[in-house]
């Protein structure tokens, strides 16, 4: 067992999960607590771009924790999204910006959840509250994560706090043109050209257990939605393959065009009627055309949850 407290984000880690883990572990260590940053899965192309930009190493891979392992969850609070073995681990803290998802713990814990656009914004606040000065590289990680989660402030989840702290972090990090850096990062992160179809359909995937079955929601950001359209038939097949393998009863993929600010929601499996209840009438080919939808957390998960609850 790891003697130090593990700090980790969710499975299928995004840039926020990785940057929160690295920076929060740094803060804990500065405060004299023994913590180590971990990750619950593969580093994405976008995150690798960020790590390279600030010459940082990826956190240690931990897919399963042993009973009694002390663990801090960042950027998630649902068991289905967490490392395996969590039920027998000791959660000492939860730092997050998502809805609460029904986790229960054996002992009291420190919990900090705020409705911000990015968990890294909250990590920045915690650094300041605790009097920890972040070195430029960590500031760069947090700025990158905020740019990623908010799609450089375009997502409706973005708050004034996200924007303000992000730009201050960019300055600390010595980033001369924050917008150019952020768009470059998002472009590098787009899995649409660099990943396999199956990887795209699992990109940043979240799982939800509803009485009608397991629903997975993945998301891929693209800079050119028209070009991405050519891949739709193949992506739909890959989603169907996930259903056939019983990975999900309903497999969703948000193809989000950041520039045009529109999501095309592709899906396979059952519960089409529930999806129409959540998102309105589907297009003739079955997919959902969703202008102004960029955020899974704010614009997809709430109507989805409502519809599945009936």
Contact residues: Mn ion, CB under 5 A: 14, 16-17, 75, 119, 149
Residues making up the chain, counted from first to last: 310
Q: How far apart are CA 37 and CA 75, in angstroms?
A: 13
Q: How far is the CB of 34 from Mn ion (least distance, A)?
A: 25
Q: Supply the minimum distance, in Å, between the C-beta of residue 294 and Mn ion.
A: 14
* Shortest reach from residue 73's CB to Mn ion, in Å: 11
Please classify residue 115 by burial: count the beta carbons closer than 10 Å to its beta carbon, then call 0-12 exposed, 13-18 middle and 19+ buried. exposed
| Residue 168, CA distances (Å) to 32, 62, 120, 121, 178 in order | 26, 32, 13, 11, 10
Minimum CB distance to Mn ion, residue 9 (Å): 6
The Cβ of residue 91 has, within 10 Å, a number of other Cβ atoms equal to: 22
Q: How far is the CB of 148 from Mn ion (least distance, A)?
A: 8
By C-beta, is 36 or 122 nearer to Mn ion?
A: 122
Of 165 and 274, CB closest to Mn ion: 165
Task: Give 264's strand partners.
Answer: 255, 289
Are residues 29 and 86 in contact, defined by beta-carbon separation less than 8 angstroms? no
Nearer to Mn ion, 17 or 250 (CB): 17
Residue of minimal Cβ distance to Mn ion: 16
Residue 46 or 75 having the CB closest to Mn ion: 75
Q: Least CB distance from residue 15 to Mn ion, whole Å? A: 8
Nearer Cβ to Mn ion, position 15 or 271?
15
* Share of the chain residues as helix, strand and coil, in percent rounded to the nearest 5: 40, 20, 35
Secondary structure E strands in 101-227: 110-113, 206-210, 213-222
- CB closer to Mn ion out of 75 and 264: 75
Q: How many Å apart are CA 228 and CA 99, to the nearest integer?
A: 31
């Amino acid at each position: 067992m790891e003697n130090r407290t593990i700090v980790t984000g969710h499975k299928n880690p995004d840039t926020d999960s990785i940057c929160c883990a690295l920076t929060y572990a740094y803060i804990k260590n500065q405060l004299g607590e023994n913590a180590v940053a971990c990750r619950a899965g593969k580093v994405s192309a976008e995150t690798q771009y960020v790590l390279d930009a600030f010459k940082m190493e990826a956190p240690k891979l931990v897919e399963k924790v042993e009973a009694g392992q002390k663990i801090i969850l960042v950027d998630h609070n649902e068991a289905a999204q967490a490392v395996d073995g969590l039920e027998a681990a000791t959660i000492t803290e939860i730092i997050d910006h998502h809805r609460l998802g029904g986790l229960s713990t054996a002992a009291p814990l420190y919990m900090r959840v705020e409705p911000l656009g990015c968990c890294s914004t909250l990590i920045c606040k915690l650094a300041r509250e605790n009097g920890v000065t972040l070195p430029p590289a960590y500031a760069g990680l947090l700025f990158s994560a905020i740019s990623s989660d908010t799609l450089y402030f375009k997502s409706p989840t973005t708050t004034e706090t996200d924007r303000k702290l992000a730009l201050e972090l960019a300055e600390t990090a010595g980033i001369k043109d924050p917008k150019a850096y952020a768009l470059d990062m998002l472009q590098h992160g787009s899995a649409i050209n660099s990943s396999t179809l199956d990887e795209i359909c699992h990109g940043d995937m979240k799982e939800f257990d509803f009485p009608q079955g397991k629903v997975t929601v993945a998301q891929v950001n693209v800079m050119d939605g028209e070009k991405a359209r050519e891949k739709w038939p193949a992506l739909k097949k890959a989603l169907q393959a996930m259903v056939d393998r019983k990975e999900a009863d309903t497999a969703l993929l948000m193809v989000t065009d950041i520039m045009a600010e529109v999501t095309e929601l592709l899906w396979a499996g059952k519960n089409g009627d529930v999806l129409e209840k959540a998102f309105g009438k589907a297009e003739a080919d079955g997919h959902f055309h969703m202008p102004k939808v960029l955020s899974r957390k704010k614009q997809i998960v709430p109507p989805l949850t409502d519809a599945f609850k009936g």
